[in-house]
A and B are shown apart, each in its own frame.
Chain A
Amino acid sequence: MTVLEAEDIGVSFGGLTALQGVSFRVQAGEIFAIIGPNGAGKTTLFNIISGIYVPLAGRVRLIGEDVTAFEPHLLARRGLSRTFQNLQVFFRMTAAENVMVGRHLHERRNVIAHLFTLPSVLRQNRATRQRAEELLAFVGLADLADRAAGALPYGALKRLEIARALATEPKVLLLDEPAAGCNPVETEEVDAVIRRIAEQGIAVVLVEHDMRMVMQISSRIHVLDQGRTLTEGTAAQVRTHPDVIAVYLGTQGTEAARAHG
């Protein structure tokens, strides 16, 4: 089933074309990677899909509904959440509280009840907290639940953002460089987490620089270069595509070499 569809997306900033004619479809339960050299427009594409930027051209469809230029909180309600390349953690809250914010849409939001802490609020707080602990355990952060997020190491924050986004119970999860800044061990852990997320039927859309990881876990790969689609296909197809090799050898030869290994 197609859960996310981008059609002919285009955007430009100050006359500079950042994206043009980008289209793709993502199925439930697949891991779909978007790769490309620096400045190819990957993060811009993410920001358009998640409602942070408004595209000049094209449509975004989420589970059949046209959601182009919808505000992010409305997209979250319809089943799309994301993580950020430059971390957007709630640093003054604990790890568990960060994830609890992710439960917002699944909590009753009756302010009057909140003002007087009716028993239902206490019950709900306990349920939210429990779900947050489960999700922290899922990404391997169970021990750090009550630590201030501001005091956690970078690799843990990356996984905290994943747990937080999962708390919204998304159907589509956008991960912007989930393994950036992680050591090889942490990268493998993130790897395993992403696979388990996809196994639950969630569509994972991934922007990642770690080519080894992308080639290993992605069911399909979409290659961008200078704001345009270069090609799309399985890891084997993309790896041998002459244009992809040209782009990567031209600009990032080492990454391409690693991709072959």
Chain B
Amino acid sequence: MRRFAASPYGVVVLIAVLVAALPAVLPTTFYVRIAALVFIFALAVVGLNLLMGFAGQVSLGHAGFFGIGAYAVAIGPTHLGIPSWAAFVIGVALAALIAFLVGRPILRLKGHYLAVATLGLGILIAMVMTNEAAWTGGPDGMPVPRLELFGWRVRGPVTWYWVSGITLVIGAWIAANLIASPTGRAFRAIHDSETAARVLGVDVARYKLLAFVLSAAYAAVAGAYLALFDGLVTPDSAGFLRSIEFVTMAVLGGLGSIFGSVVGAMILTVLPQVLTVFHDYEHIALGAIMIVFMIFLRAGIVPSLLTFLRRSS
């Protein structure tokens, strides 16, 4: 049983069960809406985790790719007359292409230097979205036409709960597949020792780029979902704070743990809602809780708890 829980596929089943069972206990559509937001952010964080937790490369600019997905489904139908679903596909492809082109030069950088370069990339994308007001509506953002698929209008919290939940399960499954494959082993090898990976024949530059492109695609899918769900997109969706939020979710939940990504997204989405009972002290409480988590569960919530369970049994 524990072996199953620790295997990546056990985690996929766990997430699927969670998605299927949760509506039974969520009292109102308000909570369904929050759950849908958790799934959407979790999808972006699972992708980021492939890059950070498995391949060991940091990105402080992933909201940029999230924003590209979001603006694609806004600009495509509004300005270019492209149907939403096609704009969605184009947006994800565009994010992957930009990651491919920019990733090649910046992934030569390591550690803090890579962090600053990806930070710059994210800020640059957000600036374009703020300044190209004729296309993007500027700082106020723009409305996003509702998604329509074969006459089915995809709208409302319950619908988006299922769409984002099922996509998260698929996203987690793909990530689990990858981790158990030669590509996943190459990612993890690069994380632990680039030098050793190289002498064993791993083309390190290629695999770093692959992780970067894949994680950008995950972020773009999530960004498009959020825009379609909200019916509105602003430059904040691509902003620096959102990038930091993604990294925090990944680290808090546990780098290298797919379920950790879901837990991290859940805590940072749900906790601010719960903490509103503290009124003015909301942010202090949130900060304090995060610090306590990181001090006592320093490998992230899920990996630390797994280690604890293993030791105690």
Contact = CB atoms under 8 A, between A and B. Distances in A.
Interface of A: 50-52, 71-73, 75-77, 81-82, 84, 88-93, 97, 100-105, 107-109, 111, 113-117, 121, 124-125, 128, 161, 164-165, 167-168
A83 B182 CA distance: 21
Nearest to A150: B192
Given A111-B183, A114-B184, A125-B181, A50 B199 contact: yes
B198 interface: yes
A101 B202 contact: yes
A65 B199 CA distance: 18
A109 B196 contact: no
Given A89-B193, A89-B196, A101-B197, A107 B188 contact: no
Contacts of A161: 196
Chain B, interface size category, equals: 20 to 34
Contacts, number: 105
Given A104-B201, A113-B181, 4 more contacts: A52-B198, A90-B188, A104-B182, A114-B178
B202 A104 contact: yes
A117 B182 contact: no
B128 interface: no
A132 to B, nearest CB: 11
A73 B195 contact: no
Contacts of B202: 73, 101, 104
A114 B177 contact: yes
A121 B256 CA distance: 22
Contact of B196 (A90, A124, A128): A90
A92 B174 CA distance: 22
B189 A73 contact: no
A182 B178 CA distance: 37
Given A114-B177, A117-B180, A125-B180, A93 B189 contact: yes
30 contacts: A51-B199, A52-B195, A52-B198, A71-B198, A73-B203, A76-B200, A84-B196, A88-B196, A89-B193, A90-B188, A90-B191, A90-B192, A90-B193, A90-B197, A97-B185, A97-B188, A101-B189, A101-B200, A104-B202, A107-B182, A109-B183, A114-B177, A114-B181, A114-B183, A114-B184, A117-B180, A121-B181, A124-B182, A165-B200, A168-B200
A92 B181 contact: no
B180 A104 contact: no
Nearest to B199: A72
B2 to A, nearest CB: 14
Contacts of A75: 199
